[in-house]
Structure 1
Amino acid sequence: MKDIKRIVLTGGPCAGKTSALVRVIEHFSSLGYKVFTIPEVPTMFTQAGMDYLTQNKDFFYEGEKATLEIQMAFEDKFLKMAKACTEPAVIICDRGTMDISAYMKPEMWEEITRAAGTSTHELRDTRYDAILHLVSAADGAEQYYTTNNNASRNEPADEQGLQIARMLDKKVIEAWAGHPHHRVINNQEDFDRKLNRVIKEIANVLELPQPIEEERKYIVEITGTLPDSIDSDITQTYLTGEPGSEIRLRRRVFGSKIVNVHTTKKRISPTEELVTERQLSNNLYESMLGQADPYRQTIRKHRKSFIWKGQYFELDTYQEPFQNLVILETKGIASHADVRFPPFIRVIEDITGNQKYYNYNLALKK
């Protein structure tokens, strides 16, 4: 049976999704893919008369429940169509089902998903192959923030509107937190670079070879209070494998939620690598631990993920095999662009490209 990838393109207000969709369709169509795009259902509903700001709770409930049901129906029907295609196909969803949860109280969301015959676990963890979140221009690219290109948007284009947009951005990120392939894509000085990052992430999901790129990393000291962050505990184990490949088991715990991911990185040329990822059940994860590389230790670290001035950061505090090692990693910041370091972080050393600090090497037994 054909393996059709379903990818959600989401983000806060004025994030560039519309432009990204155009670029995605053009790029992957030129590679021979049939690209299906699921339209943004809340926009369709707003244009048809739905009022998501209504004070009528019954009207709001029925409207949001219908939004979820139509979203799922669209995706399911297009999945059947994609499987009937002779050429390779990919489905890009302009927002996904979990986006809906960001606009209501958790109690109502649970009631709606139950009535629709589904659950947060099914919608967030198993329905889609990747979640790509484009950061709102309201956070770090305020000069480009506008509501003129979307008549269904409700937040004003002023300082109050910027604050609302930033809040919605973070709520959507939190709604998807825990998906095994959740990527947050920064604002860039050059908008084309932001769109190119979208292309790169989709190509990774489709298991197409990609140029090797170094994320920028720094040994840091925390000197103040962090903003709202998504916290998780990571256990990373390396497995034995063929020469030239790196095989990793990662268990990431968000509160009571556990996500297990098996990752293989294989260099296919001096400048390209192939990365494949798959989610594992708890039983399979435990079983595969038996293949652990005897020459490497398990890495344990606590991660805080957050956005600062439109840039996405991951702050890792190592617990094993090192203690008091804190590494800040940027995500998707162009090599020539400045990193907007938060005031609560003091940089001790730039370790970008320093292989000594690759997790694969940190795990080596001395």
Structure 2
Amino acid sequence: MHSIKRIVLTGGPCAGKTTALIKVIEHFSSLGYQVFTIPEVPTMFSQAGMNYLTKNSALFYEGEKATLEVQLALEDKFMRMAEACGQPAIIVCDRGAMDISAYMKPEMWTDITQAVGTSTPKLRDERYDAVLHLVSAADGAERFYTTANNSERTEGLELARLIDKKIINAWTGHPHLRVINNDEDFDRKINRVVKEISNVLGLPQPIEDERKYIVEVTGVMTDFTETDITQTYLATEPGSEVRLRKREWKGNRVNVHTTTKRISPTEEIVVERQVSNNLYASLLQQADPYRQTIHKNRKSFIYQGQFFELDTYLKPIDNLMILETKGIASHDDIKFPPFLKVVKDITGDTHYYNYTLAIKH
């Protein structure tokens, strides 16, 4: 049977999801994939009479519980159809289960998931192969923000930015969460979606250097997600790189095994899979004897529509802070936040690759 990938396409208001869905259907259908799309359930419910802004707490609870139940039921039914179609298939969800949690208090979300017979770890970490979050135009691309293309959308800019960040927080911890930045050229934003899905499918992709800078923190940082990362490289064949990463935040833990294989000077295949704690411990026995384990603290945040990761290294080196942003073309300006001072541009400098920093001296 063909492998079926289930992918969430999410984001804040006016992020470009509708356009991205059209592009995904066209692109991957032309490559021989059957593309199924799950419609946005809250929009269906709103159009059918559900008022998510109701002051009636009982109605709100029943509406959100029904939203989750229908979301999961639709996904399960389309999975069965995908299994029966007899060709490679992708299921693209216009928002996923964890999006629902961003619009209520954590206590209510816990009650609803228990009533439905599931949990946050099952919905966030195990159900989907990838989560692609498109940043709202309300953050960094304000002139493109409009409510005209969605009669259900009434958010102002500040509320839209807040929703954007709540959704990212809801999905934080998924082993393949990718945040798609805003871009002056909207086509590049949409093409990044296609590239990330291609990675999930194991299709060869062009090798691209991520933009990286050594920085110093000169001001107060607020509104970020903090994770603790332990990264170990495993022994492998020449031309391949195998990484075992443990991410911990707020009492949660996710382990990801990543294999990167170059198939030509300009192309590579990246395969990620989540592994259990027991398998993680077993795989550590295959650690590369010539490399040390990397330990770092990561702060992730959005500034002016661009997604950043700030890594503070703890081992095997310290006093090193590297800022990284993804999905920004080499000729585009990076909107550096005011609380950071750029010390050096290290984009493409192999001395600062994690794989190099881990070498034992």
Once residues 11 and 89 of structure 2 are traced to their aligned partners in structure 1, the CA distance between those partners, rounded to angstroms, is: 23
Partner SS for 2:193: helix
Kindly provide the CA deviation profile for residues 284-319 of structure 1, in whole angstroms up to 9, marking residues without a partner as x: 000000000000000000000000000000000000
Kindly provide the CA deviation profile for residues 43-71 of structure 1, in whole angstroms up to 9, marking residues without a partner as x: 00000000000000111111111000000
| 1:212 and 2:207 aligned | yes
Partner SS for 1:313: strand
The equivalent residue for 2:50 is: 50
The equivalent residue for 1:102 is: 102
* Aligned-residue CA RMSD (Å): 0.6
Letter in 1 for 2:68: L
Q: How many residue pairs align between the two structures?
A: 361
Once residues 71 and 307 of structure 2 are traced to their aligned partners in structure 1, the CA distance between those partners, rounded to angstroms, is: 28
Per the TM alignment, residue 154 of structure 1 is displaced from its structure 2 partner at its CA by 2.5
Kindly provide the CA deviation profile for residues 106-156 of structure 1, in whole angstroms up to 9, marking residues without a partner as x: 11111111111111111111000000000000000000000000011122x
Letter in 2 for 1:354: D
Kindly provide the CA deviation profile for residues 267-287 of structure 1, in whole angstroms up to 9, marking residues without a partner as x: 000000000000000000000
Unaligned runs of 5+ in 2: none
Once residues 227 and 313 of structure 1 are traced to their aligned partners in structure 2, the CA distance between those partners, rounded to angstroms, is: 13
8 Å Cα contact 2:37-2:92 kept in structure 1:
yes
After TM superposition, what 4+ stretches of structure 1 lie above 4 angstroms from structure 2? none
8 Å Cα contact 2:225-2:300 kept in structure 1:
yes
Once residues 24 and 247 of structure 2 are traced to their aligned partners in structure 1, the CA distance between those partners, rounded to angstroms, is: 30
Once residues 226 and 332 of structure 1 are traced to their aligned partners in structure 2, the CA distance between those partners, rounded to angstroms, is: 23
The equivalent residue for 1:269 is: 264
Once residues 54 and 137 of structure 1 are traced to their aligned partners in structure 2, the CA distance between those partners, rounded to angstroms, is: 27
Per the TM alignment, residue 2 of structure 1 is displaced from its structure 2 partner at its CA by 3.4
Question: TM-score w.r.t. structure 1 length?
Answer: 0.98
The equivalent residue for 1:158 is: none
| 1:334 and 2:329 aligned | yes
Partner SS for 1:118: coil
Once residues 121 and 290 of structure 2 are traced to their aligned partners in structure 1, the CA distance between those partners, rounded to angstroms, is: 36
Partner SS for 2:231: strand
Once residues 2 and 60 of structure 2 are traced to their aligned partners in structure 1, the CA distance between those partners, rounded to angstroms, is: 38
| 1:232 and 2:232 aligned | no
Per the TM alignment, residue 14 of structure 1 is displaced from its structure 2 partner at its CA by 0.2
The equivalent residue for 1:320 is: 315
8 Å Cα contact 2:2-2:86 kept in structure 1:
no
| 1:82 and 2:77 aligned | no
Once residues 118 and 255 of structure 1 are traced to their aligned partners in structure 2, the CA distance between those partners, rounded to angstroms, is: 20
Once residues 86 and 66 of structure 1 are traced to their aligned partners in structure 2, the CA distance between those partners, rounded to angstroms, is: 32
Per the TM alignment, residue 82 of structure 1 is displaced from its structure 2 partner at its CA by 0.2
Per the TM alignment, residue 257 of structure 1 is displaced from its structure 2 partner at its CA by 0.5
Once residues 6 and 225 of structure 1 are traced to their aligned partners in structure 2, the CA distance between those partners, rounded to angstroms, is: 39
The equivalent residue for 1:18 is: 18
8 Å Cα contact 2:181-2:305 kept in structure 1:
yes
Question: TM-score w.r.t. structure 2 length?
Answer: 0.99
- Give matches, 1:84-233, under 5 Å: 84-155=84-155, 161-233=156-228
Once residues 18 and 97 of structure 1 are traced to their aligned partners in structure 2, the CA distance between those partners, rounded to angstroms, is: 18
The equivalent residue for 1:310 is: 305
The equivalent residue for 1:64 is: 64
Once residues 330 and 37 of structure 2 are traced to their aligned partners in structure 1, the CA distance between those partners, rounded to angstroms, is: 31
Partner SS for 1:53: coil
Per the TM alignment, residue 328 of structure 1 is displaced from its structure 2 partner at its CA by 0.2
The equivalent residue for 2:38 is: 38
- Pick aligned residue for 2:236 from 220, 224, 241: 241
Letter in 1 for 2:331: H
| 1:251 and 2:218 aligned | no
Per the TM alignment, residue 331 of structure 1 is displaced from its structure 2 partner at its CA by 1.2
Once residues 330 and 121 of structure 1 are traced to their aligned partners in structure 2, the CA distance between those partners, rounded to angstroms, is: 27
